A and B are shown apart, each in its own frame.
Chain A
Amino acid sequence: MARIELDHIRHAYMANPQSADDYALKEVHHQWSDGGAYALLGPSGCGKTTLLNIISGLLKPSEGQIRFNGTDVTNLSTEERNIAQVFQFPVVYDTMTVFDNLAFPLRNRGLPEADVKKRVTETLEMLDLSDRANKRARGLTADQKQKISLGRGLVRRDVNAILFDEPLTVIDPHLKWVLRSELKKLHRRFGFTMVYVTHDQTEALTFADKVVVMYEGEIVQIGTPDELFRKPAHTFVGYFIGSPGMNIVPIKLDQGRARLGEHVIDMPGATPMPGKMELGIRPEFVTLGREGMPVSISKVEDIGRHRIVRAQLADHDIAVVVPEDGDIPADPRVTFVPEGINLYADSRRVETRG
C-alpha cells in the first residue's frame, strides 16, 4: 500500500494548451495518505476520470509528477505501477473458473502454485465466493462478477492502490448496499489505499474517509462527509452534495446581518465585502413553522421517510426537509438554524465566526 503524491499535476488533451480552460484537469497538488479511502466525486466531464487515469498510468499528465511512497512513477506503465482496478462494467475472463480468474494475476507473476492456491482460497473466503470457486465466471450475476474483478486486485497483497471506476453502475439498488458495506469492511480490515470515482454522492460519502469534489477540472474541496455537508467550501459543493442540494440565495450584507429581500437574518461576525454575496443553507437546516419569514409553498414531495417542501422565499426557490410526522401549517413561515448558515463571496465560502 502506498501514499499517493500528486505534485502540480495538470493535463490537457490538446497539444498546445494556451489558457487555463484548455486543461481538462487544472492544477492538482495533493497528498493522499497510505491506507486512506478517497472518493473522486463530480458530474461527468469534471475531470475525475482523467485524474483516475493519471493515477492508474493509462494517461501521462501534461505537467507535474505523481509519486507512490516518494518514488516517481510518472513515466511508469500501468503494470509497473502495481495497482489494481475495478471497472464500470465487470471484467471477468469468461472461459476461466472463478478460481482461475483470481489466480490469473498471481500465475502471471510466476508465483508457486501452492501459494496461489492458499491466497486465492483466502480471497474467495473474504469475498464470500468459496462455494463458486469451480464454476465458470461467465454464468455469474453482475455483482458476483464485480466481486471477482475486485478479488483479482485483492489477491495481490502488495498492490499500491485499488482504483474503482464507478463500480456499482450496473448493480441493482439492493445489492449496491451489500457490496458497498462489504467493501467498507474489507477496507477496515486490510487498510488498502483506495480511490473511488463516482458521480453518485451517496456512494462517495458512504465509501470514503475523504471525498474529493471536482468541478470543471478543479478540485473544489477535499473533506470528510461531515465537512462537505456542514461547510461546503464552494456553492457547487453545496449544490452537488445533499439531496436536494443546498439552498443558495443572494443577499446584501451589512455589519453582522444579511438582508434577503425585505427580510433580515442575523449573521454575527460577518463583515461587508466586495463581490457577489450569497447565503447557503441546507434544506435540513430550514425549519418550517409558524414563525419567521413567510413563504409560499409550491409543491410537497412525500418520499416516505421525510417530505421535501418546495417553496418561494422572497422570490427565490428554496427546498425544506420536513420530517415524516412534521406538520405543514396553513400560513407557512421558515427560520434558518444559525449553525447551518454559510456565507459565500463569489461562490467561495467565507468564514464568519472566530
Chain B
Amino acid sequence: MLELKGVTKMVGAETHISDINLTLEPGTLNVLLGPTLSGKTSLMRLMAGLDRPTSGQVFFRGKDVTGVSVQKRDVAMVYQQFINYPALTVYENIASPMRVAGVDKATIDREVRKAAELLKLTPMLKRTPLNLSGGQQQRTALARAIVKNAGLVLLDEPLANLDYKLREELRLELPRIFAESGAIFVYATTEPSEALLLGGNTATLSEGRVTQFGPTIDVYREPADILTAETFADPPLNVIDVVKRNGRFVMEDEASVPAQGALASLADGPYRMAFHPHQLRLERLGEDHAPIKARVTVTEITGSESFIHLDFAGQKWVALVHGIHEFEPDAMVEAYIDPRHIMIFDAQDRRAMAPSSLAA
C-alpha cells in the first residue's frame, strides 16, 4: 500500500504539488489524468523517491519512506521515451534489473522468457533495441519493469510516442499484464479516453492538486467539481451559466432545461450547467429534452460520428452525434439537451447534485 499524506512540493516559490492525500492499494491500476504541467510527472517523482517532498509524508507498506532514495525503494519506472540499453540484446535488457539484484541464472532465464511471452517479444529476444519498432522498444521497457518485480510500477505516458493503433493494442493488453502482478501500478496520461479504457482508479489532477480520486468510471460519471469534469472530457465539456427559476434552468436566450428529480429541489439562483458533447443531440429523443438553436461553426466527420462545433449564446459547444451530418458553416440548427444527463455546479464550481440519484 502506498500512502501520500499532505504531500507538497515547492520548487523555489512555485508550487508543483499541493497537499496531496492518496492511498493506493496493492494490485490496483491507478491513472493520473491531467493536462501537461498539471503535476503528473512531479507526483510520480515523489512517489518514486526521485524527489523529496517539501512537506508531507510518503508511506510504503506502512513504513515512512519520505526521505528514502529511489535505489532503496521497491520501484520500477517506464517513461514516455523508449529507454533501453542500446548495446544490449532485448534478452539482456529485460534481464538487467535481475542481474543487478544478483538473481541466479536459471531464475533470470525463466523470468525473462515469461515476461517476453507476456509482451509478445519472444521472437525479438536476440535483437538489439535499435532494430525494433517503437512499440517493441516500449514493450521491452515494460518487460524490464515487470521482471524487476517491484511493489510500485510507475508509467509516465508510456504510450504517448506510439502509433495510434499500437497504442490501442497495448492499452488493451496492459490491464491483463498488470493483473498478473500484485504491484501497485500508477499510470500517467493526458487522454481521458485512455483512462476510461484502462479502467481501475483515476485521480484527476489540475495545477498540482488531486481534484478527485475513485474508480475511473465513477469519477467520469460523477465528477465532484467542474475542474474534474473538464479534465475528464474529450471532446471538451459544454458549459453555460444558467439561472434556476420556476423549476427550470434558464440559459441566456430564454432556452431552458427542466430541473428534474433531485435537481428540482435546488434553491433558485445562478448555477453553471455542463454536459458531455454526446448528450447534445440533433433529434428529440424525449418530450422533456430541451431544444436550443445554435449556429454551426465547423463540422468534423470521423466516419461513424460527426462532431458539430456550435456557437450557442457566445459559448463554444460541440455536439457528438452518430452518423454523418454535414452542415454549412453559419447554418442554424436545433439541438436537444437530455435533462437527465446534465451536471449542475454551484458558485464555488462544486457539484450541486449527482444525476445518478435521478436516473433511477
Q: Which residues of A contact B (CB under 8 A)?
A: 43-45, 142, 172-174, 177, 180-181, 184-185, 188, 199-202, 205-207, 224-226, 228-230, 239-245, 282, 284, 301-305, 324
Contacts and interface: CB of A to CB of B under 8 A. Distances in A.
Contacts of B168: 243-244
Contacts of A45: 133
A244 B303 CA distance: 13
A301 B199 contact: yes
Contact of A185 (B165, B230, B329): B329
26 contacts: A44-B133, A142-B36, A172-B190, A174-B35, A177-B236, A180-B300, A184-B298, A185-B297, A188-B298, A188-B329, A205-B302, A206-B307, A207-B300, A226-B303, A229-B302, A229-B304, A239-B165, A242-B303, A242-B304, A244-B168, A245-B165, A284-B304, A301-B196, A302-B199, A302-B217, A305-B276
Given A173-B191, A174-B236, A177-B318, A228 B303 contact: yes
Q: Could you say which of B298, B304, B307 has the most chain A C-beta atoms within 10 Å of its C-beta?
A: B304
B231 to A, nearest CB: 9
B91 interface: no
Contacts of B236: 174, 177
B359 to A, nearest CB: 9
Nearest to A283: B304
Interface in B128-158: 133-134
Interface string B78-98: 000000000000000000000
Interface in B297-339: 297-298, 300-304, 307, 309, 318, 320, 324, 329
A184 B301 CA distance: 11
A353 B318 CA distance: 37
Contacts of A181: 297-298, 300, 309
Interface of B is mostly: mixed
B248 to A, nearest CB: 24
B324 A226 contact: yes
B163 A44 contact: yes
A241 B164 CA distance: 10
A173 B195 CA distance: 13
Interface residues of B, number: 38
Contacts of A44: 133-134, 163
B35 A172 contact: yes
B301 A226 contact: yes
B278 interface: yes
B166 interface: yes
B349 interface: no
B247 interface: no
A228 B324 CA distance: 12
A185 B298 CA distance: 6
B177 to A, nearest CB: 14
Nearest to A310: B172
B291 interface: no
B74 interface: no
B235 interface: yes
Contacts of B301: 205-206, 224-226
B39 interface: no
B192 interface: yes
Nearest to A175: B35
Nearest first, the 9 A-B pairs at minimum CB distance are: A229-B303, A206-B300, A303-B196, A205-B302, A305-B278, A199-B163, A225-B303, A225-B301, A172-B35
A342 to B, nearest CB: 14
Given A172-B190, A184-B298, A185-B297, A201 B164 contact: yes
A225 B324 CA distance: 9
Interface string B163-199: 1111010000000000000000000001111001101
A317 B298 CA distance: 37
Contacts of A244: 168
B268 interface: no
A166 to B, nearest CB: 11
Nearest to A321: B304
Given A303-B197, A305-B276, 20 more contacts: A43-B166, A142-B36, A172-B36, A173-B35, A173-B191, A173-B192, A180-B300, A184-B298, A185-B298, A199-B163, A200-B164, A205-B300, A205-B301, A206-B301, A224-B301, A228-B303, A301-B196, A301-B197, A303-B193, A305-B320
Contacts of A284: 304
Interface in B253-311: 276, 278, 297-298, 300-304, 307, 309
A229 B322 CA distance: 13
Contacts of A301: 196-197, 199
B234 interface: yes
B226 to A, nearest CB: 14
Contact of A201 (B35, B302, B307): B302
Interface in B22-63: 35-36
Contacts of B35: 172-174
Nearest to A325: B359
